[in-house]
A and B are shown apart, each in its own frame.
Chain A
Amino acid sequence: MDYDALAAELRTIRENVAGVTDTVIAASDGIPILTDVAKNVEPSHISALAAADLGIARQAAEVVGLGALRQTVVFGSEGYMAVYSISRTALMVVLGDKGLNLGRLLHESRPSIERIGSIMTP
């Protein structure tokens, strides 16, 4: 796997969207693949939670008839956790502080997810 190319994508997201604090790419079953996180964030915990979160959101979208799942976002009083589906086998987590502009994150992350998906597809 081309970790340098993946790292460049994660770096772009953090540099281009004010408020992004941490990023993680993980397998859909919650195993971390590549992480850029602060010391207080445990990558394996975040990856496992994100996998569960995405699974529930995907099921909800399917049951309610919302179409294909794009992202699911946890809103906290101090920040956000956005989880994106990269493919059937991988996901991306973006953590942000309370100033994060979610609209801009969604806009910026769409092309990144496309590219990350191609990098991860051998």
Chain B
Amino acid sequence: MTQCHEDRVTGALSVTGNAGGLFHLRDGAVIAVESAGSPGVETLLLSSGGISAEDWDAALVESVGTGSLQAALVARGSIGLAEVEAVAVAALQDGAFAVAAGDVQECVVVSDSADVPLLPVTGGVAPALLLAETAGRLDAIASLPVPLSPYRDRVVPGRATKSMSGERREIVAHATGRRSARDIAFATGRSLHSVTVEISRMLGEELLEIAPPATAFSFSHWGLPSLRPRAPGQSSGKEMDWTTTPWPPNCGRSERTSPE
């Protein structure tokens, strides 16, 4: 990324991995980061209540002609330029953290990327600043009282009962045992970094616990013995009534053998 800054690259730096992501660059500065690991600008803006879903959709339609979603959003009057910009910067920093906190397999510079970010940060952020900020966030996560992987660890409500802030109640409500910090960040529309830090603190206070594997993954099967079509005469007459063609194939017994 530093090399991209020196070469004043306009395009994108694509990071393959889980969660992976795309760093959008203009003249070597980072103007947006999109990652499957962190909620994007749209989610953050909508959940902050700064803008309604209707206004967002309308601004998106308008921006197709004008080319600037930022201008279309501000023109609708419900949100100021400074707020849009602040959320865009927050989403950018959170995206960089999401990429760095996950597995990185490969980085490729796509200099002629036609993929334009929805809400770029005006002027962009210098890579050196972003890298320092991201390193700081990674250090902060590593030194938390209860270290937590934002992608691998899934959480359930803990034993402790005490009054909690609305923010914490929301996290507990989404802690089904199947969701990681990343999943809860998307479900609540808050940044990955803040949700990860909060979950770690709540683990320390026993308000949450790491979910056992059987809760994180709940497999059940229906006892289907085979996908081979049954021999003629094995099928019940009822099944033959509703399918008179050989397709779809008859797929054997359908009763459930596992608890629902």
Q: A98-B186, A99-B39, A101-B20 known; A18 and B219 CB under 8 Å?
A: no
A115 interface residue per 8 A CB criterion: no
B219 touching A90 by the CB < 8 A rule?
no
A31 touching B36 by the CB < 8 A rule?
no
Among B132-140, B164-172, B175-183, B196-204, the stretch in contact with A: B175-183
A16 interface residue per 8 A CB criterion: yes
Which residues of chain A have C-beta atoms less than 8 A from B218's C-beta? Answer: 36-37
A88 touching B249 by the CB < 8 A rule?
yes
Which residues of chain A have C-beta atoms less than 8 A from B38's C-beta? Answer: 99
Which residues of chain B have C-beta atoms less than 8 A from A120's C-beta? Answer: 227
A29 touching B19 by the CB < 8 A rule?
no
Question: Which A10-34 residues have C-beta < 8 A from chain B?
Answer: 10-11, 14-19, 21, 27-34
A35 interface residue per 8 A CB criterion: yes
The complex places the Cα of A3 from the Cα of B226 at a distance, in Å, of 12
Flag B233-260 by CB within 8 Å of A: 1 or 0 each. 0000000000000001111101000000
The complex places the Cα of A11 from the Cα of B106 at a distance, in Å, of 23
**B176 in complex: contacting residue of A10, A33, A39, CB < 8 Å:** A39
A90 touching B227 by the CB < 8 A rule?
yes
A32 touching B219 by the CB < 8 A rule?
no
Residue of A nearest to B16 (CB): A104
B19 touching A89 by the CB < 8 A rule?
no
Q: A90-B227, A97-B187 known; A3 and B36 CB under 8 Å?
A: no
Question: Which B119-157 residues have C-beta < 8 A from chain A?
Answer: 151-152
Which residues of chain B have C-beta atoms less than 8 A from A51's C-beta? Answer: 248
Flag B28-41 by CB within 8 Å of A: 1 or 0 each. 00000000111110
Q: A37-B218, A39-B176, A97-B187 known; A17 and B18 CB under 8 Å?
A: yes
A36 touching B219 by the CB < 8 A rule?
yes
B224 interface residue per 8 A CB criterion: yes
Residue of A nearest to B218 (CB): A36
Which residues of chain A have C-beta atoms less than 8 A from B250's C-beta? Answer: 29
A18 touching B37 by the CB < 8 A rule?
yes
B43 touching A31 by the CB < 8 A rule?
no
A81 interface residue per 8 A CB criterion: no
B219 touching A35 by the CB < 8 A rule?
yes
Flag B205-233 by CB within 8 Å of A: 1 or 0 each. 00000000000011111101111100000
10 closest Cβ contacts across the A-B interface? A29-B248, A27-B251, A101-B36, A18-B19, A89-B227, A18-B36, A7-B219, A34-B221, A99-B186, A3-B221
Residues of chain A whose beta carbon lies under 8 Å from any beta carbon of chain B: 1, 3, 7, 10-11, 14-19, 21, 27-39, 43, 51, 55, 87-90, 97-101, 104, 120, 122
9 contacts across the A-B interface (CB closer than 8 A): A18-B151, A27-B224, A28-B249, A31-B222, A97-B186, A99-B37, A101-B19, A104-B16, A104-B18
Residues of chain B whose beta carbon lies under 8 Å from any beta carbon of chain A: 16, 18-20, 36-40, 43, 102, 151-152, 176, 178, 182-183, 186-187, 217-222, 224-228, 248-252, 254
Given A36-B218, A55-B248, A98-B186, output 12 extra A-B contacts at Cβ < 8 Å.
A3-B219, A17-B36, A18-B151, A19-B36, A27-B249, A31-B224, A33-B221, A34-B219, A34-B220, A34-B222, A89-B251, A99-B186
